[in-house]
Amino acid sequence: MSPAPSQTMPRAAGPGRPKDMGKRAAILAAARRMFTSQGYEGTSMDQIAGEAGVSKLTVYSHFGDKETLFAAVVRVHCETQLPDDLFDPTPETPLQERLMDIARAFHAMVSSPEAIAGHRMLCTPQLAGSPQSRLFWEAGPQRVHDAFEQLLQRRIKAGELAIDDTSRAAGQFFALLKGQSHARQVFGCHDGSAEAAAEVEAHLEASVEVFLRAYAAAPAAATGRVRKR
Q: What is the pLDDT of residues 145-178, one digit of tens each?
A: 999 999 999 999 999 999 999 999 999 999 999 8
Q: Kindly list the distances between the CA atom of residue 190 and the CA atoms of 17, 39, 182, 193, 199, in Å, as whole numbers in the listed order.
A: 48, 21, 8, 9, 12
Domain residue ranges of the chain, discontinuous segments joined by +: 5-64, 88-223
- Dihedral sign for Cα 157, 158, 159, 163, please: negative
* Fold equal for 5-64 and 88-223: no
Q: What is the pTM of this model?
A: 0.73
CATH class of 5-64: mainly alpha
pLDDT tens digits, one per residue of 204-227? 999 999 999 999 998 754 444 444
Q: Could you give the percent of the chain with pLDDT greater than 70?
A: 79
Q: What percent of the chain has a predicted confidence (pLDDT) above 90?
A: 43
- The domain covering 88-223 belongs, at the CATH homologous superfamily level, to Tetracycline Repressor, domain 2 (1.10.357.10)
The b/e string for 121-154 (b: 16+ C-beta within 10 A; e otherwise) is: bbeeeebeebebeebbeebbeebbbebbbebbee
